[in-house]
Homo-oligomer: A and B are copies of this chain.
Amino acid sequence: MVTLKDIGLRVNRSVTTVSRALSGCSDVSPDTIQLVQETAKQMGYVPNTLAQRLQKKSADTIGIIAPVSSMGYAESFFCELLAGIGEEASLQGIDLLVAYAKEENEMAIYKKLVTGGRVDGFILSRTLRDDPRVNYLSSVQFPFAAFGMVENHHDFPYVEEDGEYAMAQLVDHLVGRGHTRIACICPPLSVMFSAVRLRGVKKRLAELGLELDPSLVREGSFDQKDGYDQTNILLDLPNPPTAIIGFNDIIAFGVINAAKERGLKIGRDLAVTGFDDIPMASLYRPPLTTVNQPIHEIGSMVTRLLLQSIQEKHPKNHHTNSSLEKSQILLRPNLIIRAST
């Protein structure tokens, strides 16, 4: 490993000078700069990141913690989000630390990373209505940005898709096709987006003079198996729904399977919709009507918000701080109509 000292020895300059020469600007003679930079390259010098970081007390790293049941995260959704985050981070020269935590020690991991100075901030995803992560990080004033808002804090950077708006679109579409008995299969309602979407459905139905039959709301989990099981329960009802909204695409796939097995023709006998528009949504049979979320791009956006918020905490270059650009972004998702409705 080549160090500043090594270079200094070689060109007969102090470590200090070498350091400055490499960082370019400062007042160093052009000759020295030239000499040092060439020697450095030639010797294959690469700065020791750890040392730099220790010095400037910054980890240049952001963290994201995934629950160990990766299943929990609707698979390809999380993958894609992660990719968006990682890409943006590497664009800005920031490392991405991914940790996997069992539910029990999730908070412990956050604390460890925070106090150990291992990361400069966190990305949160799938927020809860009352989210312990948000509560904790806010209380210690540690930077974070989230995909999704929460109910009891409103002053942190986040990206949110407008779930109510999306559901209004979806309901309009279904009602327009003559459906009045619309069912919802939701992940736990303690999850923010789940609650928001359900509220959206109710609200829009009310506006149209319809009511959401409570027996048509099934609260479950995030996966396909659940979509399948809940659908069977719904279709066994004395007065079953004619349309089912799966609160994510994976759930909707389960709905489709269950309905098909009962000999129903999707799109004719039963309308099915999802949410997210993961790649497979358009490839499933029948292709799924759903709400598009630009997941990858959302990952990048959240990351940008986070990095911005971190910078504001250490205002190096006092550029007009009024450029506090909007740090809460609300996206208008697009309805994608396919054959399943």
Contact = CB atoms under 8 A, between A and B. Distances in A.
Interface string A49-64: 1110110000101000
Contact of A100 (B66, B90, B279, B285): B90
Contact of A51 (B54, B61, B95, B285): B54
Given A75-B75, A79-B78, A285-B257, A90 B96 contact: no
Contacts of A97: 61, 95-98
A83 interface: yes
Interface size class of A (residues with CB under 8 A): 35 or more
Contacts of A157: none
Given A86-B98, A117-B49, A254 B279 contact: no
Interface of A: 1, 44, 46-51, 53-54, 59, 61, 66, 68, 70-71, 73, 75-76, 78-80, 82-83, 86-87, 90, 95-101, 109, 112, 115-118, 224-225, 228, 253-254, 257, 260, 279-280, 283, 285, 296
Given A70-B82, A78-B79, A79-B79, 14 more contacts: A1-B115, A50-B50, A50-B54, A68-B87, A70-B80, A75-B279, A76-B76, A83-B100, A86-B99, A90-B109, A95-B118, A96-B99, A97-B98, A254-B283
